Every structure is written in structure tokens, then in C-alpha cells.
């Protein structure tokens, strides 16, 4: 049974909606980040690799060239013939709107690019950028805004030097979704001082506001970061793979079935990764999550059902039925953050 039978993955969602495989192509458009250049902060987030920051943006291939290189590789590997241009590296709304429009339109001008995904910080999305994304959406493209929240706790965000709080995320996610723009929220599991309960609480706060997609990521310790110094000094201990798998499954179970998971783990390359070493093994983690969900007899959304069913005294938990997909982009009505987390141990 593939993971997509248990989790509403973005890839499967695209396949269902477009009737063919659609793949994201990552683009590095040469943006910087306001958390490094002094406009929001200096030094960047404590886990962000400073060396890989693009000092030679002018030397980057243009958008069309990057798409062409990406499509060749992905086509060969997956057979996909339609793509989303994923503006991934750093803060992809950090620039004047005209420049942003030129870059996004250059990607959408490619005949096999049917959509756009723009990754950014929640404090770097002014109304003019939302208007631009809506304009592209109204021209017939699927457009997603990807917001790096990482944690819903201001104390944690301050500790890792994010340079923004939950308030900025709240403003942006509400403004985007009010315009009908789908949002994918990025959360990191295993941030300093955070464990399972904090991860569940962050998810609850995100679901309360409403989100359309989620990306989960274990915290990596990579070279040339403040976190690496902390880790070397014994001040930070990364999660084990088993701990990450268990928390990721808890989060998946507690996420409504209509929210798409764009990612349930993340990897780092060996040349920069210091710890944990299992973060180079994407398939081991994905297989671990699938095996754990199967062992629990559960799937995405069933943690919520379990709580609701439990509260009425009905014991039914296991079901072979696939997740029921409700209307996309709907704002959840259940106050998820106040529901008691369900675990397989209960
Ligand atoms: S917001 Fe993103 S790009 Fe900027 S410092 Fe933090 S992790 Fe790095």
C-alpha cells in the first residue's frame, strides 16, 4: 500500500485533478532574504546554511533554462509531462513587484508549466504581491503560496532568530486565503526546546486559522550555521528517526483529509549535513512513516475522527476506506488546537 493511500499527498492530488502526473521543478531565482541583509535581521535563521546563500545571483541560469534542465531530469525519472514552477530558494517574494511578475510570468510562459508555487516568509508578502499572484491565478494558472512558519510559538521563533512571529503568519495566511489563494504551511519538527506536544500545538494553531497544504521537515544541523555551533557544544540534540516518524504520524493523523501534504520529510545533502545522519535517507523515513501508520491502523484525519468518535462512546477506529476529500480550500470549523491529541497509546 503506497503512502498516498494513507496520506493526501500533493502529487496524488494533482494526479487526481489533472488526470496526469504533475511534478514540481525547483527554481533558484537569485533572491536573498530580509533576515540576512539587515532589513529584518542579520545572520539569518540559526539553522539556515549561510554559505549556500547566493552571492552570485547574476551568474544563475535564467528561469527558462532552469526549467528546461529540471524537466529533462524529472521527465526521465518520473515520466511527468506537466510541471509546477516552484520558486524555492530563500525568499521568493523579496523584490519589487515588477521583477517578481517578470520572473513568475517567465516560468508560466513555458507551455508545460501549468502552475506556480512561491516559497517565502510570512512577513514578506505585501498586498501587492498577493494581488500579483491572484492575477496569475485569474489568468488560468494554479498558484500556491508557501509560507515558512516552522513553529507557531514566538519564543521558539525568537530562539532560532526567524525575525518574525506567529502574528505575521496569521495576517498573511488570512489575507491569502481570503483572496482564494491556497497556502501551504511549512513546519519544522524538532526545533530547539520543542517536542511532540509543541509540534501538535503548532499544527492545531495552523489548522485553526486554515491552511490548504502542509510541509513537514525534521530539523537538520548543517554546516556554517549557529545551530551547528550549538550542536557541537552539546546544546542541541536532534531527533532520532524513530522519534521523527512517530511525531510525523501524530501530525498526519490529526490533519483533516482535505489538507494536502506537499512533503512529510526533508533531506539534506551529505556535503553540508552534520546531524542527524538519517536525514540523507528520504526513502527510509517515508517507508517508516507508512509502516507506522499501517501499524497503528490509521491514516490522515483519523486522529480527529478518533477523538470525535471516542467522545460519543463509539469504538470504531479502523477502516479500509480511503480519506474522504472535502471541498478544497475550505476553512476548518473545528477548533483543532483545543482537541485532545490522540495517540496510539491511548
Ligand atoms: S527566512 Fe529562510 S532564507 Fe531567510 S535566513 Fe531564514 S531559513 Fe534562511
311 part of a folded domain: yes
Distance 106 CA to ligand 1 centre (A): 24
Q: How far is it, in rounded angstroms, from Cα 38 to Cα 1?
A: 49
Grade residue 105 by pLDDT with cuts at 50, 70 and 90: very high
Residue 52: per-residue pLDDT: 52
Segment 226-240 mean pLDDT: 97
Determine the structural domain holding residue 257 and report its residue range.
Answer: 3-338
190 part of a folded domain: yes
CATH of the domain at 329: 3.20.20
344 part of a folded domain: no
Residue nearest to atom 2 of ligand 1 (CA): 90
Grade residue 304 by pLDDT with cuts at 50, 70 and 90: confident
For ligand 1, mutation pick of 31, 35, 119 (most atoms within 8 Å of CB)? 35
Q: How far is it, in rounded angstroms, from Cα 168 to Cα 159?
A: 17
DSSP 85-154: EEE-SS-TT-S-HHHHHHHHHHHHTSTTEEEEEEEE-TTS--HHHHHHHHHHHHTT-EEEEEEEEE-S-H
20 part of a folded domain: yes
Residue 42 CB neighbours (<10 A): 11
Q: What is the pTM of this model?
A: 0.88
346 part of a folded domain: no
Distance 55 CA to ligand 1 centre (A): 15
Instruction: Name which of 26-30, 50-54, 68-72, 178-182 the model is least confident about.
Output: 50-54
Residue nearest to atom 3 of ligand 1 (CA): 90
Question: pLDDT, tens digit, for every residue of 37-57?
Answer: 999 888 899 999 866 544 455
Number of domains the chain is built from: 1
Residue 58: per-residue pLDDT: 61
In the chain, pLDDT over 70 holds for what percent of residues? 85
Pocket around ligand 1: residues whose beta carbon is below 6 Å from it?
33, 35-36, 44-45, 48, 90-91, 121, 148
343 part of a folded domain: no
Residue 312: per-residue pLDDT: 39
For ligand 1, mutation pick of 33, 123, 272 (most atoms within 8 Å of CB)? 33
334 part of a folded domain: yes
40 part of a folded domain: yes
Distance 223 CA to ligand 1 centre (A): 15
Q: How far is it, in rounded angstroms, from Cα 127 to Cα 141?
A: 19
The 10 Å CB-count burial string (b at 16+, else e) for 261-292 is bbbbbbbbeeebbbbbebbeeeeebbebbbeb
Amino acid at each position: 500500500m503506497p503512502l498516498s493511500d494513507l496520506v493526501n499527498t500533493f502529487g496524488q492530488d494533482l494526479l487526481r485533478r489533472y488526470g496526469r502526473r504533475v511534478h514540481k521543478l525547483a527554481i533558484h531565482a537569485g533572491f536573498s532574504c530580509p533576515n540576512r541583509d539587515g532589513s529584518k535581521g542579520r545572520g539569518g535563521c540559526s539553522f539556515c546554511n549561510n554559505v549556500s546563500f547566493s552571492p552570485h545571483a547574476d551568474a544563475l541560469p535564467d528561469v527558462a533554462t532552469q526549467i528546461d534542465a529540471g524537466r529533462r531530469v524529472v521527465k526521465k525519472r518520473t515520466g511527468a509531462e506537466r510541471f509546477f514552477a516552484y520558486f524555492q530558494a530563500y525568499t521568493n517574494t523579496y523584490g519589487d513587484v515588477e521583477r517578481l511578475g517578470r520572473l513568475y510570468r517567465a516560468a508560466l510562459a513555458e507551455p508545460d508549466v501549468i502552475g506556480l508555487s512561491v516559497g517565502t516568509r510570512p512577513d514578506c508578502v505585501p498586498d501587492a504581491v498577493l494581488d500579483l499572484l491572484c492575477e496569475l491565478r485569474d489568468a488560468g494558472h494554479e498558484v500556491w503560496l508557501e509560507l515558512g512558519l516552522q513553529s507557531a510559538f514566538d519564543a521558539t521563533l525568537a530562539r532560532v532568530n526567524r525575525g518574525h512571529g506567529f502574528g505575521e503568519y496569521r495576517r498573511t495566511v488570512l489575507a491569502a486565503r481570503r483572496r482564494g489563494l491556497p497556502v501551504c504551511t511549512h513546519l519544522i519538527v524538532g526545533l530547539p526546546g520543542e517536542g511532540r506536544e509543541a509540534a501538535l500545538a503548532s499544527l492545531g494553531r495552523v489548522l485553526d486559522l486554515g491552511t490548504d497544504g502542509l510541509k513537514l521537515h525534521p530539523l537538520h544541523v548543517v554546516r556554517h550555521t549557529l545551530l551547528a555551533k550549538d550542536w557541537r557544544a552539546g546544546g542541541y540534540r536532534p531527533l532520532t528517526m524513530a522519534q521523527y516518524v512517530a511525531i510525523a504520524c501524530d501530525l498526519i493523523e490529526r490533519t483533516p483529509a482535505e489538507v494536502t501534504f506537499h512533503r512529510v520529510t526533508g533531506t539534506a545533502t551529505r556535503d553540508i549535513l552534520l546531524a542527524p545522519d538519517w536525514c540523507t535517507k528520504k526513502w527510509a523515513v517515508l517507508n517508516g512513516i507508512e509502516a507506522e501508520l499501517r501499524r497503528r491502523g490509521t491514516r490522515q484525519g483519523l486522529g480527529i475522527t478518533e477523538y470525535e468518535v471516542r467522545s460519543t462512546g463509539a469504538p470504531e477506529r479502523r477502516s479500509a476506506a480511503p480519506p474522504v476529500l472535502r471541498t478544497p480550500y475550505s476553512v476548518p470549523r473545528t477548533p483543532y488546537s483545543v482537541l485532545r491529541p490522540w495517540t496510539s497509546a491511548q
